[in-house]
Amino acid sequence: MRQRLPLIAAMAIALSGPLYAQEPRLGHVEFPTSGAPAAQPHFVRGVLFLHSFEFEAAAEAFREAQAADADFALAYWGEAMTYNHPLWGERDDAAARAVLARLGPTAEARQARAGSERERMYLDAVEALWREGPKPDRDTAYSVAMGDLVRAFPEDVEARAFYALSLMGLSGTVRVVPTYMRAGAIALEILQEHPSHPGAAHYVIHAFDDPVHAPIALPAARVYSKIAPDAAHAQHMTTHIFVALGMWDEVVSQNVIAAELTWWGPGHYTSWLTYGLAQQGRFAEAERHLARARELLATRDRQGARSYLATMRAHHVVNTERWDDAMLAWDLNLAGTGPVAQGMDAFALGYAAVKRGDRPKVHPQLARLVRLAREHQNETKLGVLEIELRAAILFADGQRDEALALLREATVIEDGLPMEYGPPDIVKPSHELLGEMLVGVGQYAEAQREFTRALDLGPKRARSLIGLARAATAAGDPQTANRARTTIAEIWHSADQGLDGRYGGMAVRR
């Protein structure tokens, strides 16, 4: 057995251009291993990238560690871990098993190459993750193994951090609040003890990533981008909390940085950026980004990018209320994209057609939504979008009571869903839509309650604030109306000139 050497990851130095001339600034971890000294800097860089979900860069770093020390078992552990994306519902079994096979042909052979009992327990955990069997069973076995590791080596900070992440991974992409709170408590404790730990800050943000719990994670959100300035995901991830709190300036600025570290085509970072710009009333800039993203799509045509472009367009049209916008005529290829993105696209196209009175273009989009909702009954959001579009059609046809009844049904369903983070998949939140229709029939007090509920779920969302101001004014509640107007003026401090007129003449001082 080789001597166990302490490893302290230094704070990184600088990033120059697309390739790292010096160690990237990713934070600080301490991870004692039995690896050769030449392999250790590569290994710790991989761990740092892994904590920030920069999986491709992490895999490359772990392979560099293997090249420096072919017997370094944890370097193979690390690369195998890069193929598990627990909070995104993604994993690549074949790739991970191929990595482990390079370490040894069997679990027993791999165990024999571990440099210590602690390292054997790390290998035990990754073996549980990549064995045969249903994904939920493997996720549970992995989390149990990580818990065993933490109890055996309570001083191992990395084990605690990965254990916290494993807890959140137990439910895939669904937020189970009690489990997330447990994970968050572990991550918070680590962050207090180790203020430069990127995983601790990252996992705190994920654990408290909803409008109710987001204030707990605000300190972590403020420091994570500084802990790991060269990790694009770290720059973006802070905005999960900023969106949950309606901090639109920060949402925009951080996603600009994240996009600059990656690319400006349709993607996770640019979609959050354009949504933030829409909430700031910077529609012209958002539209320029959308046009640029569409152009760049031709250079990297992937299903994921096409999906993001569709959702970006849907949010832009709904938030700007430009029902005859030229981008509605874009011919988007959504073949192979996910059902929710297709549903958001169908709703936006159909709803815009309803609002401009173009009835021949409404029903094909409703038919799309019906088909998607029937084919993917587990995607409850599709059913909500279908109900909303049906209600919009009924309302436009003068069947107001029927439309309101449908929308009240939609709000009940939406309230039963786990709280969302980021731009909502229900591209027109049901409480907001119900509030607007209630204003349309003169039921101002109830409309005010609906907009208030919409703002509970989506703090400082511009359309809901505008609706609240109008409803409260009509309901004879000037205090609430003035508070809403003041908030709109604050978030629209750099809005497009003349925006007020496009919002029905509502006076907003800015």
User: pLDDT tens digits for 199-223?
Assistant: 999 999 999 999 999 999 999 999 9
Q: How far is CA 74 from CA 34, 121, 139, 272, 369, in A?
A: 9, 11, 20, 36, 48
pLDDT band per the 50, 70, 90 thresholds, residue 353: very high
* The pLDDT value given to residue 113: 94
- The mean pLDDT value for 270-298 works out to 97
pLDDT band per the 50, 70, 90 thresholds, residue 49: very high
- Gap between the Cα atoms of 362 and 50, Å rounded: 45
- Gap between the Cα atoms of 54 and 46, Å rounded: 9
Is the predicted pLDDT of residue 9 greater than 80, yes or no?
A: no
The answer to whether the beta carbons of residues 266 and 306 sit under 8 Å apart is yes
* The pLDDT value given to residue 500: 60
pLDDT band per the 50, 70, 90 thresholds, residue 3: very low
**Tokens 């849907």 belong to residue:** 314
Q: Which of 183, 173, 234 is nearest to 208 (CA)?
A: 183
Is the predicted pLDDT of residue 475 greater than 50, yes or no?
A: yes
Burial of 19 (0-12, 13-18, 19+ CB in 10 A): exposed
Backbone angles phi, psi at 157, to 5 degrees: -65, -40
* The pLDDT value given to residue 57: 97
What pLDDT, in 10s, does the model give residues 248-258?
999 999 999 99
* The pLDDT value given to residue 302: 84
The answer to whether the beta carbons of residues 427 and 385 sit under 8 Å apart is yes
DSSP class of residue 5 equals B
Tokens matching residue 388 = 């909303």
Using DSSP bridges, classify how beta strands 90-91 and 84-85 pair: parallel, antiparallel or unpaired.
Answer: antiparallel
**What percent of the chain is modeled with pLDDT above 90?**
89
- Gap between the Cα atoms of 282 and 279, Å rounded: 8
The pTM of this model reads 0.91
Is the predicted pLDDT of residue 294 greater than 90, yes or no?
A: yes
Is the predicted pLDDT of residue 20 greater than 60, yes or no?
A: no
Please state, rounded to an integer, the average pLDDT across all residues of the chain: 92
